[in-house]
Amino acid sequence: PLKARPCRCACASPAGEALTGEHLQRIRAVFQPELLFNAYGPTETVVMPLASLAPQQLEEGEASVPIGRVVGARVAYILDADLALVPQGASGELYIGGAGLAQGYHQRPGMSAERFVADPFASNGGRLYRTGDLVRQRADGLVEYLGRIDHQVKIRGFRIELGEIETRLLEHEAIREAVVLALDTPSGKQLAGYLVSDVAGQGDEQQAQLRESLKSHLKAQLPDYMVPTHLIL
């Protein structure tokens, strides 16, 4: 944890996990960087194909700092399951190509073939890496991380990204942490959201009000089948 005495540095660039508003403020308080970049880059793409300057603080309703724009001689696409481009603002899987792309996994041809695919937009035989990350492009062009594609579940015939629901829950000002699970019940799978909030220590009425507020928040952004049946504080 960041408990050291404050110091100053010229530039900082955290990476590894989504940069939340809490972590953003802690980094700024401890290291006081003149420049703070949020960088994104799986090992397979050899470091930082996307990055951008981090804001001073997150705007209300944002769950994490955007992972940025394409850096250098790279390409990035947000695609659906058929490798078609999704509209701006829609969620899809992030694919990365261009300079620095790995050749594949050592002595794992099957996994290499699954994760490194032909670039459908290149005329010279290029390749793309399937990151497995669910993202969307905001109106300002920055890419926002939403979660992992491999956290998909199917409920009532609909394929659901659990990470996208968690991201929307974290946008609510009263929620500090959120995990969404698909539970098996006698009537079929149901979504349950497990939440960390200061309201959990308050009375039943305040907790009920928060649950209603969260459901309204989710219904404004997600289809009904992605709104958890249970919200547990």
- Percent over 90 (pLDDT), the chain: 55
At 51, phi and psi to the nearest 5?
A: -165, 160
If you average pLDDT over residues 175-192, what whole number do you get?
88
Distance CA 68, CA 62 (A): 14
- Domain ranges in the chain are 41-49+59-149, 153-231
Write out the CATH class of domain 153-231: alpha beta
Asked if the model's pLDDT at residue 181 lies above 70, the reply is: yes
DSSP states of 152-217 as a string? Answer: EEEETTEEEEHHHHHHHHHTSTT-SEEEEEEEEETTEEEEEEEEE-GGGGS-HHHHHHHHHHHHHH
Q: What is the mean pLDDT of the chain?
A: 89
For residue 168, pLDDT over 70 is answered with yes
Identify which has the larger pLDDT, 176 or 149.
176
The CATH number of the structural domain formed by 41-49+59-149 is 2.30.38.10
